[in-house]
Structure 1
């Protein structure tokens, strides 16, 4: 079959969604011997880093479905999956979806007490957990039944699996969760069609560069990995899923597996940018795909200096040095990045520009009363799109609080310029009103410090308002080759707007492990604010520089 025709047919098939892509492709009977998913761990005796064909993947998923069905799992049963390895997350999701159950994927890095409470609130009928996570749940006093160890699921007879469940578009198919930076992660419910909507859109477009061989450096329990898996399957592409997304491990995977594109979050790009990339072979990479939080210019520029890309010129297609970086802004609740912008070594639109909306996105910028704001005015991001989640599982209060006039209020602060480009300045919970028409946007401050201050690998800005006074801390993680004792106060203040600089109480060099992170690598500023209010100074023992206010 002509691949272009197949992509068009899949895009037009309204029965297709994230619950049945694998079984649908197998039923079509074509390309069964083509490589699909690759995992960094062994799968039922199949070696790590060796691709599974479509037929073999279907067989391994059916084996797991047979065991789970024998254990009593039925359609609409929510089942938590809390494991470390990407293979166990992805195969667990595919097997449960095949049964019509609702896999609730839990990031393996969520603390045990939080995970136990999160799973309890789900009302899960059981948990699929590997040994470390089973022990952690037991220590945390979890009362949810331990359903199975993922190591045992592959022992089932694929032929004993029941017929694949018939999904409908608006049915819940998978639950993922938010990053949990402000507390317990929120359970986000995705439907059969919602997580597939952006894939359907992409299938109607020409295939992008680098799509044939992708490295998924994404948290395997995240909605982004569910999308990546189904994007790869529908495009008959190869996807390698790495279980851990630290910079060194991702670079090792790029050198050994030779992907044409790498999918990741901002936290991973930060770690990659902190490595000496000149000592690494990144020649295979054409495209870096970012989702979740938008990425920082300082990190993007370091990545796109490597690899190659194809450009169309008057002389035809030519290969140029330097790769693409596709940026945007998304979240579990949005179901997919709602914006897109492509950077190359020749482009220069930064300053936390997240680009223009996708064709499927209806975007508004609104004030606290829900009224639309004009060009250049910062307000809350409101999204209406077929990719949006159904809401929060077992939490109608939060679901309805975040919906207004058919739009989802994302909790992000953005503005639009005259050319229709959008810029992300902060999360609503982290910004501070300074009075006199000025506001402090912590993420925009971080962007400016990283862009203007040499030797700074990462920057975290935290503002605390008490008794009518705002005190801002600027926490710096430095390149190991930089002078660790130099006073960077002056250059940091120069990078900030005057009304923001006047609030800075200290500029502190800290070790990376002093910055509290959520399971997906996001900084927990809520926790930092609480620590500062309690009098903790993370850099007191290093090189704290008190700034006169």
Structure 2
């Protein structure tokens, strides 16, 4: 492996960065559970030492190259270090989100058939992990921390000599992550080192083009591939990092007041929850020059609020559209001026050197969005036929419908499974409502049990919905039933805070989603 490959390979990127920039600062919102004595501020060299320590301990526990190792533990930035350590052993991390309920996690582990499972005492105490049940899948259940009867914990393992790096097959499986699971049980996506490197290279080119070296605050799921491509780009450019496990506004405010980020990245729906930071008297977003979101299209209202909260000249919002299976597919950017008139369904253009996008029906006519991507995953673990079923030669069906805009940009209308009679675009209608009713934090249009369109809405601090503003916002939309006003914590969400629309519709139609009025 040459120097260039070392800098972007999951197994070696942290160690390579420590050789070039050992004092690079890293900030956390809470200490690593595997090394709590480091606190919340340490260096790239410290992180590399943690990865080496874990590599030695995991090797002592019998983990070897080529073995799949499931990681399902309490949410913390140490998932990042554990993943890099496993890759450094040549093992294949199978990352399962801490937010996934225990029964779903068990299904994913069953599908992956790993040789080892890494969890912690917290997951066992919560009931999410049944060690006896997992032993039916694999005999090796290890704790990353804490204690539980009959299980080996890394706390009691002495870190010996760090084993040498094995030979790597850049085209073979490197990491396994899972999709959001908005329509059911998530799919496990196998990714190669070459595919992950493709994501990293194009993102590095964009960072170089814009001269990005700003302190980077990242609040993205630690089990998502996006976290590792972002980590590589930041390390390559010697960027100070803040990794946040907690997306709560109070935690973010506390970290940002001290860290003063110039670049902030999180999930689109998390940015919606962070809108109150724009009005905070301490102005925690005033230092931000760049915002980044992937996963879903962002609501235009949120973009305008975030850009307005920055004191930086030329502040920019980068939006990437993509999937776990493909990595980023299109990119667009917003400026303050452009955000005022931007069409929320426009997700930009394919990325030169990485992706090509086709829509067979051309302009305005809804068509399946298909993509060629150098960063495409290898397969769905345990569902290989399902993966190949979405391929047309080398073109990947995104499962989304869209069209080409006037300037050939891609417009995303809806997921194919979410289409509703009477609406050209469910997502566009939701954008309209979010823009015209400021107190909304979420609106999801579903089909009511009696037929017709039922809006499910959440508001800031659960405030009452303004009936006048709502009626005015609905003037140009099809007739809908009165909105069902509920709380954010009652919505079924994925690990990246997408609403599980199919499950939400089922809850609504079964009468199992309580309205706020019913709670009073």
TM over 0.5: yes
Whether the 8 Å contact between 2:171 and 2:192 is mirrored in structure 1 is: yes
Q: Is the 8 A contact 2:291 2:317 kept in 1?
A: yes
Match of 2:410 among 404, 408, 422: 422
2:134 touches 2:141 (CA, 8 Å); kept in 1?
no
Aligned to 2:393: 405
- Provide closer, same or farther for how the CA distance between residues 433 and 19 of structure 1 changes in structure 2, counting only shifts above 3 A: farther
Structure 1 residue matching 2:317: 3-state secondary structure: strand
Query: Structure 1: how far apart are the matches of 2:25 and 2:160?
Result: 22
Q: Following TM superposition, by how much is the alpha carbon of 1:64 offset from its aligned partner in structure 2, in angstroms?
A: 0.8
SS of equivalent to 2:59: helix
Is 1:97 equivalent to 2:87 in the alignment? yes
* Match among 493, 498, 507 for residue 522 of structure 1: 498
Instruction: Indicate the SS of the match to 1:69.
Output: helix
Paired residues for 1:434-449 under 5 Å: 434=422, 439-449=423-433
| Rounded Cα–Cα distance in structure 2 between residues aligned with 1:287 and 1:254 | 14
Within 2, Cα distance between the matches of 1:57 and 1:158? 16
Alpha-carbon distance in 2 for matches of 1:365, 1:539: 42
Determine whether 1:326 maps to 2:318: yes
Question: Do the aligned partners of residues 481 and 124 (structure 1) sit closer, same or farther apart at CA in structure 2, a change above 3 Å counting?
Answer: closer
Q: Which whole-Å deviations, capped at 9, do the CAs of 1:221-277 have from their partners, x for residues lacking one?
A: 111111122122222222221112233322322222211111111121110015563
**Inter-CA distance 254–277: structure 2 relative to 1 (3 Å threshold):** same
1:342 aligns with 2:333: yes
- Structure 1 partner of 2:302: 299
2:472 to 478, 483, 491: 491
The residue matched to 1:179 in structure 2 has which SS? coil
Output the CA distance in 2 between the equivalents of 1:362 and 1:30: 31
Given the alignment of the two structures, is residue 479 of structure 1 paired with residue 480 of structure 2, yes or no? no
> Cα distance, 1:278 vs. partner?
3.4
8 Å CA contact retained: 2:462, 2:487: no
Q: In 2, are the aligned partners of 1:180 and 1:186 still within 8 Å (CA)? A: yes
Separation of aligned partners in 2, 1:215 and 1:95: 23
The question of 1:82 aligning with 2:72 is answered yes
Which residue does the alignment assign to 1:164?
165
Corresponding residue for residue 440 of structure 2: 456
Check if 1:149 corresponds to 2:143: yes
Q: Structure 1 CA distance, aligned partners of 2:205 and 2:426?
A: 38
Give secondary structure in 1 for the equivalent of 2:57: helix
Greater displacement, 59-68 / 198-207? 198-207
CA contact (8 A) 2:179 2:187 kept: yes
1:158 and 1:253 map into 2 onto residues whose CA distance is: 32
**8 Å Cα contact 1:265/1:291 also seen in 2:** yes
C-alpha separation in 1, matches of 2:501 and 2:170: 37
Contact 1:213–1:260 under 8 Å retained in 2: yes
After TM superposition, list the pairs within 5 Å mapping 1:94-133 onto structure 2: 94-133=84-123
Aligned length: 503
Distance change in 2, residues 1:308/1:541 (3 Å): closer
Instruction: Find 2:249's aligned residue among 247, 251, 254.
Output: 247
- Alpha-carbon distance in 2 for matches of 1:538, 1:495: 28
Partners of 2:113 and 2:7 in 1: CA distance: 29
| Residue ranges of structure 1 left out of the alignment (5+ in a row) | 1-8, 312-322, 367-371, 544-549
Shift of 1:202: 3.5
- How far did residue 374 of structure 1 move? 1.1
CA distance in 1, matches of 2:433, 2:17: 48
In 2: Cα distance, 1:58 partner to 1:327 partner = 31
Shift of 1:400: 0.8
- Tell me the residue number matched to 1:176: 177
CA deviations on 1:139-172 (whole Å, 9 max, x unpaired) are 8933344532223547766661211123232121
State the distance in 2 between where 1:276 and 1:238 align. Answer: 23
Task: Give the whole-Å Cα distance in 1 for the aligned partners of 2:345 and 2:41.
Answer: 38
Q: Is the 8 A contact 1:39 1:87 kept in 2?
A: no
Deviation at 1:113, TM superposition (A): 0.9
Distance 1:228 1:14, change over 3 A: closer
SS at the partner of 1:429? helix
* TM value normalised by structure 1: 0.84
Contact 1:509/1:542 (8 A) holds in 2: no
- Secondary structure of 1:240's match? strand
User: How do residues 55-66 of structure 1 correspond to structure 2 at under 5 angstroms?
Assistant: 56-66=46-56
RMSD: 2.8
Displacement of 1:309 in angstroms is: 3.3
Single out whichever of 401-410 and 200-209 deviates more from structure 2: 200-209
The residue number in structure 1 matching 2:376 is: 388
- Per-residue CA deviations over 1:281-319 (Å, capped at 9, x if unaligned) read 2222111111110110111111111223345xxxxxxxx
User: Residue 38 of structure 1: CA displacement?
Assistant: 4.8
More helix by share: 2
Going from structure 1 to structure 2, the CA distance change for 1:306 and 1:444 (only over 3 Å counts) comes to same
Matched, 1:354 2:347: yes
Q: CA deviation at 1:16?
A: 4.6
Q: Could you tell me which runs of 5 or more consecutive residues in structure 2 were left unpaired when the two chains were aligned.
A: 146-152
TM-score by length of 2: 0.89
Cα deviation 1:493-547 (Å, max 9, x = unaligned): 2142xxxx13x2332322222322122211111112223333456438459xxxx
